[in-house]
Amino acid sequence: MPQLNDTANGSMAPAPQAARYDVAVIGAGAAGLVAALVFARDGYSVLLMGAARPVRDGRTVALLDGSVSLLKRLGAWPSIEAHAAPLATMRIVDDTGSLVRAPPVSFDSAEIGLAAFGFNVENADLVTALADLAARQEGIAFPGTELQSLADEGEAVRLVLADGSQAMACLVVAADGRRSQARDRAGIETRDWSYPQVALTAIFSHRLPHQDTSTEFHTREGAFTLVPLPASTGGAHRSSLVWMMSPDRAERVRALDDAALAAAVERRAHSLLGPMAVDGPRGVVPMGGLSVKRYASGRIALVGEAAHVFPPIGAQGLNLGLRDVATLRDCVVDTADPGEAAGLAAYDRGRRLDVGLRTRGVDLLNRSLLSGLLPVDLARGIGLSLLDRIGPLRRAVMRTGLAADEPTTPSLMRRADAA
């Protein structure tokens, strides 16, 4: 891209004409990389800003069926699938110790005609595969440079990169995370909140097979979840862990040596997977939430954690971010100008209800675990009991969680046409 250069006498040369793009994506995490690939697939010229920085800290993502369909259409799935394990069953176990305890509830993908709800993969493997594809994709400029500033000039948005180069874009997709610079520049108000929890993340090997089953124990500190991963090259069974707890306890647990941590996790899991061993680095992630008043302003649209953040319950986080991207694409793909007001207004309307309902649902469930109030425990216990006993209700909840093949499902996330 063109850059500003000093003249021979030391003065600043006139700024060269800014490069022009149909779409500029800010942020090279998973949501931003997918956004760049989606718009390039439709023939738009795309500038992707930021550097992909895959970090191995024990974090994984459960890609649900619609997200897998999207990745297949982008040609990204073959390189991801090798690192992913199917999620055929999702089980919830009430481990709160409450006087009113619900029975364990299992959601089996075969009940709704699927071999698996989705696949679990390490974040680092997902980002690496997407970044490699984006670097090779025709139509994407991926200089690895961060955004310095932006200004919506009406007919386009002017972007200044950290290396001094400039660009103009008809549409800006803000995928730059919870502390989004683009969202702040667009003047979009947010509501932030925090929980008295952090999530300890790690990967473990274990003696017993996970049988493609994700188990979520509901405890008084939050969810304790073991999610399947592919076996190691040596054949050992593996799962990822997300263990929500108080910050003080997290520091103590994080400081344990590998053997002591593995023993603590095995006890917390009631030896469900037998003896365990740490199989990689650990991470600690503060728990909080974020929502926005609008999902678009001017020529700037928000996706992923620039638009919504909530605890890792029910595998909604990144899946909802990819749904943002696919919905945005459907709203603007048939317009001559992808940043025109009508398309972004439709995107804003479409995301309000979907994101709002899921954010409130996850927030309510997480707070119910922390409350310890008998009426709250009773309500949660009744709800889980009904899911266990009433098949049609259970299947409806599974389909709602997947958000697949509904009238509002984005076209690229529909199962029937997936490659």
Q: Per-residue b/e over 254-279, b at no fewer than 16 CB within 10 Å? A: eeeeeeebbeebbebbeebbeebbbb
pLDDT digits 0-9 by tens, 286-340: 888 899 999 999 999 999 999 998 877 656 679 999 999 999 999 999 888 999 9
Residue with the two structure tokens 């009904």 = 386
Contact by Cβ (8 Å): 204, 245: no
Rounded to an integer, the average pLDDT of 123-150 is 95
CA angle 394, 396, 401 (to 5 degrees): 95
Ranges 263-277, 380-394, 401-415: which has the least confidence: 380-394
Higher-scoring residue by pLDDT: 390, 185:
185
DSSP alpha helices (H): ranges in 140-286?
A: 181-185, 247-254, 258-268
Contact by Cβ (8 Å): 378, 295: no
Q: Sorting pLDDT into bands at 50, 70 and 90, what band is 402?
A: low
Residue 43 sits at φ, ψ, to 5 deg, of 90, 5
Higher-scoring residue by pLDDT: 170, 95:
170
Distance (Å, whole) CA 126 – CA 232: 17
Q: What residues pair up with 244 in beta bridges, in sequence order?
A: 199
Q: Across the chain, what does the average pLDDT equal?
A: 87
Residue 210 CB contacts under 8 Å (≥ 6 apart), including other chains? 85, 226, 228, 237, 239, 273
Distance (Å, whole) CA 16 – CA 62: 45
Higher-scoring residue by pLDDT: 407, 104:
104
Token pair for 234: 């040596």
Contact by Cβ (8 Å): 362, 319: no
pTM of the model: 0.88
Distance (Å, whole) CA 312 – CA 106: 18
In percent, how much of the chain has pLDDT > 70? 87
Residue with the two structure tokens 């970090």 = 55
CA dihedral for 34, 73, 126, 303, sign (positive or negative): positive
Element (H, E) at 161: strand 157-161
Q: How far apart are the two ends of the chain, measured CA to CA in Å? A: 35
Distance (Å, whole) CA 305 – CA 123: 15
Residue 352 sits at φ, ψ, to 5 deg, of -55, -50
CA dihedral for 125, 175, 315, 391, sign (positive or negative): negative
CATH topology of domain 19-192+287-413: FAD/NAD(P)-binding domain (3.50.50)
pLDDT digits 0-9 by tens, 99-112: 667 788 888 999 88
pLDDT at position 142: 95
Q: Sorting pLDDT into bands at 50, 70 and 90, what band is 253?
A: very high
Residue 360 CB contacts under 8 Å (≥ 6 apart), including other chains? none
Distance (Å, whole) CA 161 – CA 173: 15
* DSSP secondary structure letter of residue 48: E
Token pair for 384: 């889980």
